Amino acid sequence: MKKRILIIEDEKEFLVGITTLLESQGYEVLTAPDGMSGLQKARKDNPDLVILDIMMPKVDGYKVCRLLKFDAKYKDIPILMLTAKTQDIDRLTGEQCGADAYFLKSESPDGLIAKINEILG
């Protein structure tokens, strides 16, 4: 059975690109354009992995991460924060929210696929 990945990302072009990349690797991809709808979709669809942007309208990625990780029903869903935020404090905040991994949008697509494969085993 295909692994299901939920991408929560508000940048349309980036969302299309990463969706295409993941589908080419055999993953089933669900998407959400903002933190609030992403949180609802994560709770409804229970994906194998959530790829989460940080800077989004309505609810930011840190809050979505906290809400999922501090809920017993969803705490085991791995969360990969995928962001343009490069500061150490951003990475630290992601870790404190419970993110399983932190990946920069500027890094290579091959590196992203390797990280996803590592997380999903």
Specify the pLDDT at position 63.
96
Specify the pLDDT at position 58.
87
Say which CATH number the domain at 110 has: 3.40.50.2300
What's the average pLDDT block by block, 10 residues per block, for the chain (121 residues)?
A: 95 95 97 97 97 93 96 97 89 93 93 96 88
Specify the pLDDT at position 64.
97
* Within a domain: 65: yes
Q: What is the DSSP string of 34-94?
A: SHHHHHHHHHHH--SEEEE-SS-SSS-HHHHHHHHHTSTTTTTS-EEEEES--SHHHHHHH
Query: Which range marks the domain in which residue 88 is found?
Result: 11-120
Specify the pLDDT at position 74.
97
Q: Which pLDDT tens digit goes with each residue over 53-71?
A: 999 988 999 999 999 999 9
Specify the pLDDT at position 9.
96
* Within a domain: 3: no
* Within a domain: 42: yes
- The packing angle between helices 88-97 and 61-69, to 10°, is 30
Specify the pLDDT at position 101.
95
Nearest Cα residue to 94 out of 86, 45, 47, 73: 86
